[in-house]
Structure 1
Amino acid sequence: MNSRKKILVVTGVFYLIMLVLTLSGRSVHNALLPKVTVTSLEYEKFPVSNDIKNGKKLSEEQQKGKKSFDQPQEFDLKIGIPKNIYKNKKVYIITIMTVNGEERTLAREVQELITGRVGETCYEVVSGLSALDQIVVTGQEDLFDGREVYVVE
C-alpha cells in the first residue's frame, strides 16, 4: 500500500472515531453522573399549639381555664419535608443551569433550612424551601453542593 492510501485510511478512521465520540459523548457523560430521584414537597397538617391562637400568646389564666377537650384540635396546612429525607440534616434541591450553551441539572445543598413543628410523617418547613422545589430523595450519598446529577424519572 502506498503512503497516500495509508494517509487516507488513517484519516478516515480518525474521522470515524471522532464522529462516534461526538455522538456518544453525552450518553457517556450522563452514565458517569450520580443517579438521583426527586420529589416535590407536599402539604401536611400540623397541629396548632394549645397556648397560641391566631398568632396571639394566651395568658396563664387563659391557659389554665382552657380545657383542651372543649375545643376540637386545630391544624395549619404547611409544606413539610419528609422525616426520612431530613434525617441526616442535609437536603439537596435540583436546579437547572446553562453551562456552555447546554442545560445542566445540579444538586444544590439547602444551607439555611429552618424546621418547625413535627407532624406524623414530616417536619414543618418554616423557611429555606418552597413548595415548588424538587428535593433529592435517593442518591444523596455521592452529592456535594453544585454537583451535576442525572435525575431518574
Structure 2
Amino acid sequence: MRVTTWAEYGLIVSLHLAKRAGQGPVAARELAEQERLPHDYVEQILLRLRRGGLVESVRGAKGGYHLAREPQAISVKDVIEASEHVTFEVNCDLHPVDPQRCSPDASCSIRPVWRMLEHRINDLLAGISLADLTHDEPELYQIAGVLAGN
C-alpha cells in the first residue's frame, strides 16, 4: 500500500476539523496556515471530502468547513476513499505483468495474497475513526491493536 499525498492531506484536514468539532466552520485558508499545507491542496481536498459526504461547507463571512458527521462516525477508510478514491490497489489488476497470466480467469497463487492484504487493510482502516486519531500515538497503537514500531 502506498499512502499518497491526497490521502495524507485528507487525513490531516479531516483530523483538524475533528479536533474543532462543535466550534463552528473553519476557513480553508486558516486550516491550510495552521496545518502548514498548501492552500490549493487544502481547497481540493475539502472539495473531495465534501463530495464524499464527509464535510459540509458554510457560506458567508464566518463560513468555512465542518465535519458532516460526528468524528466517531467517520473512519480513516472513509477519508482515504473520499480523498484518494481507493485505499488499496492491487497492481496486477491495474498493470498486469502478463495479460494472459494475470487475467481474472487465470489461476494465480499470488493474487489471493494481495486480496487478503487488501481486506485486512480495509478492515483496519474502517475500524479507526477520526475520534480515535485525536488520541496520542501510544493510545492509537493500542486502539489499532498493533505494537509501536511494528
- Shorter-chain TM-score: what band? under 0.3
TM-score, with structure 1 as normaliser? 0.26
Give the greater-gyration-radius structure (CA). Answer: 1
TM-score, with structure 2 as normaliser? 0.27
